Structure 1
Amino acid sequence: RSEPGKRAFSSVRMDGSRRSAILIGSVPLKTTEEVFRLSAKHLSGFVHQFPDGEVGTRDYWIRCQREYFAANDALYIPDDAKADGPVRPGFQLRPGRSIEDVSFPDIGYSRFANESFQTFKRLKLEGIFSSDAKFQVSLPTPLAPSWGFSSKVNGFWKEIEAIYEQAMFREVSKLCALIPHRELVIQWDVCYEMALYDDELKDFPLDTVGTRQDIYDRIARCANSVPESVDIGFHLCYGDIGHKHFQDPSSISSAVSLANGISSTTDRSILWIMMPVPKSQTHNEEFFKPLANLQLSDETSLYLGLIHMTDGVDGAKKRIRTAERYYPNFGICTECGLGRRPPETIPDLMKLHADCVAL
């Protein structure tokens, strides 16, 4: 692990009076440049890593990965296939083919990142960003596409996961070779693992993958695939399907436990871990109490996803004051990416970030 204080931004209180903030990833605008310019306009000074908005084919998280499964000659979905998971039929091994025939030579992420970084670099030269601003790349953990697009019959998805995981780590290596490490931050989106961790979803019980330690190990492999010279963070996610969670947590305890497991299992430094705070828990002090059990390294900042457009500054202030009783220093953000929100609401939502960092 790196020494405390060696990370790029060492405190969630940037100047003694303002908190720092992060953008989780997706922004529903048409181009990367629009996202960068709007973000810089409203967030410079307290946000120091800027995502590209996951625009275009990436606008609905992992959905863009389906084409890479479909392009694989060894995989297919039978015409009479029925859903074997909560959403859709998964890809199966084509008759006469073996698992050794399955490969993912390219899954797009390094290409997307490099294209966006060229825009980021140009805007930085124009003075739109400060010289120390970083480009944030958001990646799903390999479990999400592997489970999401593969057949669940006889655990076939696990065979795919082993192959897809290596493909993702190759993408990490490629993008780290293309983008200067001092200007790069990688955020891992931890969503399916969060669903498993609570072990309360009928279609996705914990024993799907084994134990909580198996979850820690998966996430640690993601972290350790990134060079130490590149900052990383984790977005613990309860989803945003139809602007709803796949499960509304009644306590932040699972996120705290998962964060502790990630922190203790991962061999490298972690810049931040982010946890969602539902608006429905604003007046529930019991929700926040487990924050007292959070055990992060000195180098790791906590960010709480407590900014909600529906109750604005007043609601955020209430959640901040309650959380501070159990974990005094943290940054702020929204619960999830902004990609499923109406585009016309984004400027006001970014302004809300600016209003909340002073709380």
Structure 2
Amino acid sequence: MASRSVHLVGSYPADDTRQAMTTTANERGRYLRSLPDGDVGDRRNWIVHIVEAFRRHPDLELARHGDWSGYDNRPLFKVKPGRRLSSAAIDTGHAAAAKASYLDFREIRTQNALDQLTFQVGIPGDLDLGLFTFGTVGAFTKRTLFRDALAAEMGEIATWSQRDVLFQLEIPVELIMVATAPTPLRGLAANFLAASAVRLVAAAPPGSRFGIHLCLGDLNHRALKRLTSTAPLVALTRALVRSWPRGRDLEYVHLPLAADDQVPATQSTFYRDMGRLASLPPDLRIIAGLVHEDQGLEEQIRILRIVESYVGRSVDVATACGMGRRGTDAARQALQRAAALAES
């Protein structure tokens, strides 16, 4: 393998999961440590399909109409009068989707002699699912329902995968909240949000393997927030590592250093706060989400060097978010760029 690994965040433009895994494994498999199934079809837009399914849920009704044309134009739900929503009545579909792809994953891994590969399954944060379903207030009052439902999904996956699956905790809402908090309150916000986010991790079976995907949003290939420095990323990352529960392995943290509609910043001062990541455990992989096909290779190499100079070690590389909202050509270009950066 190259000195750096390439990380695939999740979604990839393909007709089905087998095609997505075959394409990425064939083209860049030797750079990968884990392989997602591509989150194809309805899953390409992260949790949109889960929230949309609540239109048919017997215990819920629309509180606000929305068509997902923007972050402020999405549907919100409420519990019907006289009904009670339970975690057992929430089916996010993660276990079923993972099981449907896992046999293909094992076959593709064997065909390509990629013994190092682990099957990667993205799991949204419970606060994130709560906010996109019920709005800000409901996100906090009903997040336990989603936590229990997601924990059940992970438990089901663990029954047939053992340690051949790595769960990727995906928490854009927490990052946006930390980035939005006033600077004097940023640390407090990061500590509170991290401590509550990892309760979902603690609810997973002992011995579960995890990575973290911090995100700035990618609805309709547009970020919700643009950072002016890496300080929010650093604050939340450090808080998550401090709060991490025992008995669940944290293998990497993926940091978005671009937005999929915005190339990485070129000023070295933007990355200065990443020096505070130098004290993280040496076996915790830091993944720089800076891969962007619309920025020149030499510029991207220069930015990668800046990042590594601050954190004091080599980092792995990835796009800022999944590639499912890209076109096929753009996704292939991003894969090529990631490999070039891994080799640089």
2:169 corresponds to 1:185 = no
How far off its partner does 1:150 sit?
1.3
Query: CA offsets per residue over residues 146-192 of structure 1, 9 Å max, x none?
Result: 1111155xx334332221111011101111112131x2111111101
Indicate if the aligned counterparts of 2:285 and 2:315 stay in contact, CA closer than 8 A. yes
Unaligned runs of 5+ in 1: 1-13
The verdict on how the C-alpha distance between 1:342 and 1:130 changes in structure 2, with shifts beyond 3 A counting, is same
Q: Aligned match of 2:143 in 136, 161, 170?
A: 161
Looking at structure 1, the residues matched to 104 and 293 of structure 2 have their Cα atoms a distance apart, in angstroms, of 29
Q: Aligned match of 1:262 in 226, 229, 240?
A: 240
Q: Which amino acid aligns with 1:95?
A: P
Q: Aligned match of 1:212 in 170, 173, 190?
A: 190
The verdict on how the C-alpha distance between 1:102 and 1:73 changes in structure 2, with shifts beyond 3 A counting, is farther
Looking at structure 1, the residues matched to 107 and 314 of structure 2 have their Cα atoms a distance apart, in angstroms, of 34
Normalised TM-score (structure 2): 0.88
Query: CA offsets per residue over residues 37-85 of structure 1, 9 Å max, x none?
Result: 111112122212111010122111011112442343221115xx467x9
Indicate if the aligned counterparts of 1:104 and 1:163 stay in contact, CA closer than 8 A. no
**Equivalent residues, number:** 330
How far off its partner does 1:329 sit?
2.0
Equivalence for 1:239: 217
Query: CA offsets per residue over residues 286-305 of structure 1, 9 Å max, x none?
Result: 11111111132232110101
Q: Partner of 2:169: helix, strand, or coil?
A: strand
Indicate if the aligned counterparts of 1:305 and 1:333 stay in contact, CA closer than 8 A. yes
Equivalence for 1:3: none
Q: Which amino acid aligns with 1:254?
A: P
Looking at structure 1, the residues matched to 140 and 146 of structure 2 have their Cα atoms a distance apart, in angstroms, of 10
Indicate if the aligned counterparts of 1:270 and 1:299 stay in contact, CA closer than 8 A. no
Q: Which amino acid aligns with 2:177?
A: L
Superposition RMSD in Å: 2.4
How far off its partner does 1:351 sit?
1.8
Indicate if the aligned counterparts of 1:74 and 1:102 stay in contact, CA closer than 8 A. no
Query: CA offsets per residue over residues 261-281 of structure 1, 9 Å max, x none?
Result: 000001233100011112655
Equivalence for 2:6: 21
Indicate if the aligned counterparts of 1:252 and 1:287 stay in contact, CA closer than 8 A. yes
Looking at structure 2, the residues matched to 112 and 332 of structure 1 have their Cα atoms a distance apart, in angstroms, of 26
Give the share of equivalent positions with the same residue, in percent: 22
Equivalence for 2:126: 142
Aligned 1:83-122 pairs, distance under 5 A? 86-98=72-84, 103-122=88-107
Looking at structure 2, the residues matched to 121 and 23 of structure 1 have their Cα atoms a distance apart, in angstroms, of 17
Which structure features the higher share of helix residues?
2
Q: Which amino acid aligns with 2:332?
A: P
Moved more, 238-247 or 46-55: 238-247
Aligned 1:26-41 pairs, distance under 5 A? 26-41=11-26
Equivalence for 2:305: 321
Looking at structure 2, the residues matched to 187 and 71 of structure 1 have their Cα atoms a distance apart, in angstroms, of 28
Indicate if the aligned counterparts of 2:9 and 2:322 stay in contact, CA closer than 8 A. yes
Q: Partner of 1:255: helix, strand, or coil?
A: helix
